[in-house]
Amino acid sequence: MITKIYKVNDLKKDSKYIEKAIEYLKNDDLVAIPTETVYGLGANGLSEEACKKIFETKGRPQDNPLILHLSKVDELERLVKEIPEDIEKLMKELWPGPLTLVFYKSELVPSIVTAGGNTVAIRIPNNNITRNIIEKAGIPIAAPSANLSGRPSPTTADDVYIDLNGKIPLIIDGGQSNIGIESTVLDITEKPYTILRPGFFDKEDLEVYLDEVLYDTSLVKDDVVPRSPGQKYKHYAPKAKMEVIIGDGNSIKSYIDEYKENKNEEKVAYILFDENKYLLKEEDIFLSLGSKDNLIEMAYNLFKNLRQADKLNVDKIICEGTDEYGIGIGIMNRLKKSSAGNIRRI
């Protein structure tokens, strides 16, 4: 199969590409679509057959349910059993945006989407191109991140192409995802509402609109099985061995110096904050996380750098981590998985 990439700059001028995407989706074929978090691998969310292709193409475990993407709140009602009154404000303020809500599902939602369960995850992405496709197609679009299972999530059309070239007919290129990590997943089927996957929004952001929000205990404790199936698998992993270090400039300097003395035969990518770039030599591979004071930049650069390190064929990645507050909780959730738990406070 030949994989085409259509760059959409303008909804009107490039409407022929939007039409093409809709044609594929209605025909139960897969189309990669841009969102503000990461690229999604889209399929007709009401079609068993189309969604089956998502699992096959990604090599995704069968028990990991999919998120349905909508273009506006009106499309929600027919997909869920009920809409709790106390989330109306939350939906109004944070959608479109990087928030996924888990509802009890209606009969209309195929069981492949929910991995056989009675709940369905739903979000309205903050991306005009993708919302336009969904609205015009008139169907919810099921979309996991558009990477092969286990790999870092894709934040550009090129990232998607590297993983899925030859496996899907079309990638819609909408430029780089401006957030860079996936949505916060909030289960609203039971009270207290629970964050199953941390993302752009943290607990406090949601508590502006809701009474009490908890983190799923698996996010806080290491030995608890997560309630969100996707959280238990190996994830976001670059090809190289990866180590995450958290510390001040001095301790990072001694760590890197010592590392170089002992393991100087390895090709290493250093993914560091700009403030620590001066610790490296000209010949070292430096990939920037942006400024230490801006975790939004860190999220934006994270998967991009892991994929860049893969392109450079390094043996080892040494990546700075962050304290866990705000979006830092979501970032560290991804880094724990990318590094298979190889995190050191130094």
Residues at the site binding ligand TXA, with contacts judged by CB under 6 A: 35, 37-38, 40, 64-67, 98, 100, 102, 114, 117, 119-121, 123, 125, 143-145, 182-183, 185, 196-197, 228-231
Which among 327, 334, 325 is positioned nearest to 304, based on CA atoms?
A: 334
Q: Which does 99 bind (CB under 5 to 8 A by kind): ligand TXA, Mg ion, none?
A: none
**Closer CB to ligand TXA, residue 175 or residue 247?**
175
CA–CA distance from 298 to each of 4, 38, 302, 305, 338 (Å)? 30, 14, 6, 10, 15
CB of 38 to Mg ion, least distance (A): 7
Q: Which does 120 bind (CB under 5 to 8 A by kind): ligand TXA, Mg ion, none?
A: ligand TXA
CB of 24 to ligand TXA, least distance (A): 17
CB of 196 to ligand TXA, least distance (A): 5
**Closer CB to Mg ion, residue 126 or residue 149?**
149
CB of 153 to Mg ion, least distance (A): 6
Q: Which does 102 bind (CB under 5 to 8 A by kind): Mg ion, ligand TXA, none?
A: ligand TXA
**Closer CB to ligand TXA, residue 170 or residue 196?**
196
Instruction: Summarize as ranges the residues that interact with Mg ion (CB under 5 A).
Output: 145
Strands (E), the chain: 4-7, 31-33, 40-44, 67-69, 99-104, 119-123, 141-142, 170-173, 184-187, 193-197, 213-215, 241-246, 268-272, 285-288, 316-320, 343-345
Q: Is 119 helix (H, G, I), strand (E, B) or coil?
A: strand
**Closer CB to ligand TXA, residue 144 or residue 270?**
144
Which residue do the tokens 């724990």 mark? Answer: 336
Q: Is 108 helix (H, G, I), strand (E, B) or coil?
A: coil
Q: Which does 196 bind (CB under 5 to 8 A by kind): ligand TXA, Mg ion, none?
A: ligand TXA
Q: Is 223 helix (H, G, I), strand (E, B) or coil?
A: coil
Q: Which does 309 bind (CB under 5 to 8 A by kind): ligand TXA, Mg ion, none?
A: none
CA 314 – CA 312 distance, rounded (Å)? 6
Contact 147, 77 (CB under 8 A): no
